A = this chain, B = another copy of it.
């Protein structure tokens, strides 16, 4: 049985659709929303796409992005509500959730393993690298022609959620779907430029200063980087430019925990933790009043940056020692 084959007919039989994706939308969320939205539109359906949050600059180039509305102007009259890339209805913006609850047919198209199967139709495939991959499959199986604009949206979804096919979720199927989308006219160059080549000189100068501060503990298992108020000011970059810098910290050979210290204007220190294979950084962050996931967490600590670094590093060494000695690793 193929979940997609089953869903195709029940998904595409209506005339009036409302669609949304999760709040704080990323590339898979927006690429999937616009990709499926434009496909339904091209089929002659009425489609309202909603995203109450603002669309990150990197994804504003997406065909269909301008057709996404912030608020719903009518609550009823939809035959079907489709949520893409959403684990559950709590990840949908408040105003939209109301419309979803009033609509008889809810379709839930997603690839998260934690999906709650909240739809009448649930097309959930955790093996798919991106929700965009599922939608490409669905349109193909429905025999719907994929116009270049749609291909661009879905390719963006795939590239975003696989880190350009670097991440472990990348499968042969993801790559074949990407090839198919290029054949259908996905604008590879436009996507790359918007996703990866819009850096400012200031942000790269800030990265330089961050990398300069990069340090390792004696055993080479903990690495950390500090972004001070001074380095922000000297580079002329903004706090948003620190996005992704933690990845450099954990790309070091042999490192288990990467830590990023960011000095905020109010004197507090934002601390981000990432671990590669075994340390539960959620517990570590919780010790300092923060939280997150096992491999990615954070907390906020008041104090001088050097003091906070000392405190956090000491605790990290301790946790690492406890956990490392507690079980056999690698």
- Contact A250 B205, beta carbon cutoff 8 Å: no
Shortest CB distance A221–B (Å): 13
| In the complex, A55 has a CB within 8 A of chain B | no
Q: A188 contacts the other chain (Cβ, under 8 Å)?
A: yes
Q: Assess whether A90 is interfacial by the CB under 8 Å rule.
A: no
- Does A140 touch B at the CB level, under 8 Å? no
Contact residues in B for A299 (Cβ distance below 8 Å)? none
Q: Is the CB of A198 within 8 A of B253?
A: yes
Are the C-beta atoms of A175 and B182 separated by less than 8 Å?
A: yes
Once A173-B179, A175-B175, A207-B211 are accepted as A-B contacts, the answer to whether A188 and B200 lie under 8 Å apart by CB is: no
Contact B276 A193 (CB under 8 A): yes
A204 near B165 (CB under 8 angstroms)?
Answer: no
**Residues of chain B contacted by A253 (CB below 8 angstroms):** 197-200
A214 at the interface (CB under 8 A from B): yes
Contact yes or no, A189 B252, CB < 8 A: no
A201 and B179 form a contact (CB under 8 A) = no
- On chain A, which size bracket covers the interface? 35 or more
Q: Mark A169-188, 1 if CB is under 8 A from B, else 0.
A: 01111011011101100001
The residue of chain B having its C-beta at the shortest distance from the C-beta of A216 within the complex is B201
* A104 CB to nearest B CB, Å: 40
Q: Tell me whether A197 and B165 are in contact (CB under 8 A).
A: no
- Number of identical monomers bound together in the oligomeric complex: 2
> Residues of B contacting A207 with CB < 8 Å?
208, 211
By a CB distance below 8 angstroms, the chain B residues around A251 are 196-197, 199, 204
B197 to A276, Cβ gap below 8 A?
yes
In the complex, are the beta carbons of B200 and A211 less than 8 A apart?
no
Among candidates B165, B193, B205, B223, residue contacting A164 with C-beta atoms closer than 8 Å: B165
Contact B179 A252 (CB under 8 A): no
Chain B: which residue is nearest A220 at the CB level? Answer: B201
- Nearest residue (CB) in B for A223 is B201
A173 to B277, CA, bound (A): 30
**Interface assignment of A192: CB less than 8 Å from any CB of chain B:** yes
A→B interface (CB under 8 Å)? 164-168, 170-173, 175-176, 178-180, 182-183, 188-189, 192-193, 196-201, 204-205, 207-212, 214-216, 223, 248, 250-253, 255, 276-277
The 7 closest A-B pairs by CB, nearest first: A208-B211, A175-B179, A172-B182, A172-B179, A208-B212, A198-B253, A176-B179
